[in-house]
Amino acid sequence: MNVQTMSCPHCSAANPIGGAFCQSCGQALPPSVLSGPRIVGAGGAATSTAQQFVRGNLEKQMKKAFTALVIVAIMQTVFGPIQLMLEKSKLEKQNPGMEIQFESWVYIMIFGIAALFWALAIWSRKSPLPAAIVGLVLFVSMHVFEAVVDPTSIARGWLMKIIVVALLVQAIQGGLKYRQFAAAQDASR
């Protein structure tokens, strides 16, 4: 009878495959069959635990879209009117005795953009990838337009702009990877 053996990594003694402890030194032996998550490339097979792990990580990455869109919505809702009041105060100081009134379309634009980003944040709960793409295009377009109108606006809030763009880009990347992963899983079934 030919019994397959493996060497103990601690003392090099021969032990039958499948044993939990070395018969010579008593130390734990490595398992003869690999278990647990095994992550392989997108086209390869992986255990269901590994698939759930990858899917969960990609879903977390996609949910960054919600965070970024809520940040923009809050900034627009809170800081938009504050910025408008500061602009009004600045213009009134430059023109003493003159009361400055903004047209109603200015307020509609500020709160309309805020409402749009709130809607995108809600939409991102169901469809994070398209919401992140629309949010990124709108956010960048809004700030490019603002920079064309007022070049000094580029420097205002630059760190927050970078953070929002980075979060939206990560969400888009996660969404694209998630789609590839889901397509590979569907193809392997």
Amino acid at 82: I
d(CA 41, CA 15): 34
Inform me whether the pLDDT recorded for 141 exceeds 90.
Answer: yes
Residues 6+ apart with CB under 8 A from 61: 170, 171, 173, 174, 177, 178
What are the tens digits of pLDDT across the range 18-46? 888 899 998 888 887 655 555 545 444 45
CA distance 25 to 184: 46
The more confident residue out of 13 and 53 is 13
Write down the pLDDT at residue 36. Answer: 56
Q: Check residue 1 and give its pLDDT.
A: 56
d(CA 47, CA 33): 14
Mean model confidence pLDDT for the chain = 83
Residue with tokens 């490339």: 41
What average pLDDT score do residues 94-120 get?
87
Q: Which residue has the tokens 């990858």?
A: 54
pLDDT tens digits for range 151-168: 888 888 888 888 888 888
Calpha distance 93→111 (Å, rounded): 26
The tokens for 63 are 């949910």
Residue boundaries of the structural domains of the chain = 61-188
pTM above 0.85, yes or no: no
Residue 146: pLDDT over 60: yes
